[in-house]
A and B are shown apart, each in its own frame.
Chain A
Amino acid sequence: MKGLIATALLLAGIAAYLAVTNTAPPNHNAKSPPPIVDTATLPAADAADDGTEIVLGLRVRKDRNCTVELKDYVTPYGDMFSAWSCTPHSQQPPHKYSNYDDATLEVMAWSDAEAASLLGKRLIERDTRKSYELLVRAAALDSDFRHLAWLADQAYGIVSIDGEPHMGNLSQQYELASVSHALGDLSGRSDYFRQALVDAGADEKQLAGLDQQVSEVLRRIREIQSAVSGEVTIGGQDNA
Chain B
Amino acid sequence: MRSFLSMLLLILTLAANVGLAQDNAMTIYCGECRHPNRNPEDYANHAFNQVYGPGAWMSFEQADDFFVVNSKGLKVYVDIDFIFLGVGVEGLRLPFWPENMLQITLALPNGNIVKMVRSIFLTPLPVPADAYDRDHSKWNFLPSSNGRKRSQDTRSEDEGWCGARSEKGDDSDQLSC
Binding site for B on A (CB under 8 A): 5, 8-9, 12-13, 15-17, 19-20, 23-26, 28, 50, 52, 58-61, 64-66, 68, 71, 73, 75-77, 79, 81-86, 88, 92, 121, 124-128, 146, 149-150, 152-155, 157-163, 173, 187-189, 191-192, 195
Contacts and interface: CB of A to CB of B under 8 A. Distances in A.
Helix, strand, loop or mixed for chain A's interface?
A: mixed
Contacts of B124: 92
B164 interface: no
Of A60, A121, A157, chain B has the most CB atoms within 10 Å of the CB of A157
Interface of chain B, main secondary structure = mixed
Nearest to B83: A192
B59 to A, nearest CB: 4
A191 B88 CA distance: 13
A155 B97 CA distance: 26
B130 interface: yes
24 contacts: A9-B8, A12-B13, A16-B15, A19-B20, A26-B69, A58-B26, A58-B62, A60-B59, A61-B59, A71-B29, A77-B173, A77-B174, A81-B69, A83-B28, A86-B50, A92-B124, A124-B130, A125-B130, A152-B119, A154-B125, A155-B131, A157-B118, A192-B101, A195-B86
Given A84-B28, A158-B115, A126 B134 contact: yes
A52 B59 contact: yes
Contacts, number: 176
A23 B23 contact: yes
A189 B126 CA distance: 22
B85 interface: yes
Nearest to B175: A79
A85 B85 contact: no
A188 B57 contact: no
Given A16-B13, A125-B134, A75 B71 contact: yes
B129 to A, nearest CB: 6
B54 interface: yes
Contact of A146 (B24, B58, B122): B122
B27 interface: yes
A155 B133 CA distance: 10
B22 to A, nearest CB: 9
A77 B86 CA distance: 48
* Nearest 10 Cβ contacts at the A-B interface: A16-B16, A64-B57, A83-B29, A20-B19, A77-B174, A125-B130, A86-B57, A23-B23, A187-B100, A154-B131
Nearest to B119: A149
Interface in B1-42: 5, 8-9, 12-13, 15-17, 19-20, 23-24, 26-29, 40-41
Contacts of A160: 114-115
A65 B54 contact: yes
Nearest to B174: A77
B151 interface: no
B69 A125 contact: no
Interface string B137-177: 00000100000000000000000000000101000111100
A15 B62 CA distance: 25
A217 to B, nearest CB: 18
Interface string B100-128: 11010000000011111111011011100
Nearest to A8: B9
Nearest to A82: B27
Contacts of A86: 50, 55, 57
B94 interface: no
A150 B114 CA distance: 19
A158 B106 CA distance: 10
A149 B55 contact: no
Contacts of A153: 117-119, 122, 125
B41 A154 contact: yes
Contacts of A60: 57-59, 62
